[in-house]
Structure 1
C-alpha cells in the first residue's frame, strides 16, 4: 500500500535519447554556451536546454506586448518554468523533427571578465504538432545576461523583445507553459 501512495510523489518524464548528453560541450566560452543552447533548442533536448541556465538567480523578462494580460505568468519565471515550457513543447514535437534557430547581428558587451550581455536578432522556426499554436516562425531580439562561474558560462537572465509583427519567443513560452 505505501508504494501506491509514493507513485504520485514523483513526476515521470520520458527519458532523453541515449545520444542526448553527448551533444553537450563544457561551456568554457560564450560561443560554446550559445552553441549548446542552439543545439538544445533545435533538437529539442530538455536536459541540455536546462543545463544552459544558471539556477536560482535566473530570470526571464518577456516582451511586454506578447505577455499582454498574462504578464503575471512571467513575474517569477525561473529555470523551472524554462524546463516545464520546453518539456511541453518537446512532447508536442515529432521525435525526428528539428527546429531551426538563427542568431544574427550579435553583439557582446562585457561588464567584467566573468559577466556579459549577448544581444542578437533571432529567428526560430518551430516544428511542433499542436495545431492551436499557429506561428511557425518566431522573431525578435534576444538579450542574454551570461555569467561565468567555475570556468563555465551560463545564462543568468534573458530579455525578449518583439521586432516585427511576427510572434516572439515570449508567445511560444506563454502558450506551452500552460499545456
Structure 2
C-alpha cells in the first residue's frame, strides 16, 4: 500500500505544481493589464489581446489522484499503517482538498465576473484575431474595428480584475503552497515507513 500511496502523492504533487504555475501565469498577466489603469500609456490591441487571453483562458481546478487512498481509507488496509501521524494526515487529506476546491470555486466566480464585463464591453472577435487564436481555431479573420483598450477606462472592469488578482494570489499563498507543504510532509512520512 505504502509504495502505491507514495506514487499517488507524487503524481498529485506534480499536478499541483503545474496548477500553481498556471494560476501564477494567470494573475501575473492580469497584473500587467491592471498596471495600465494607472499608466499614461495604453497597450496596443495585440498586446492587450495577448494579455487577456493568457490571464483568462485557463481554469484552475485541483484534481488529485485519490483512488488508492480512498480504497485504503475504506478498507482494512488503513489498519496496516501504524504511524499515527501519517494516519492523521491521510484522513485529513479529503477535507483539505475540499477546502481547496471551495477556494477554486470562489476564484472561478471572480474570473467569471471579469469575463462578464468583457463580454458586455469588449470584443471577443478582436481578442481572438489579435492574439492569433482565430488562426489556431481555423476561423477566418474578420476585420472587427472594435477595440478592447476601452476596457481600461471602465471602473467595473478594473474592480473585477483587481479582485480576481487578489483571489488568485490568495489561492496560491493560502491554499496551494500550504497543500504543497502538506504533500511533501506526507511523502516524507511515507518514505520513513518504507525504510
Give the TM-score of the pair, scaled to structure 1: 0.26
Which structure has the higher relative contact order (CA within 8 Å, separation 6+)? 2
Name the structure where helix makes up a greater proportion of residues. Answer: 2
Larger radius of gyration: 2
Give the TM-score of the pair, scaled to structure 2: 0.25
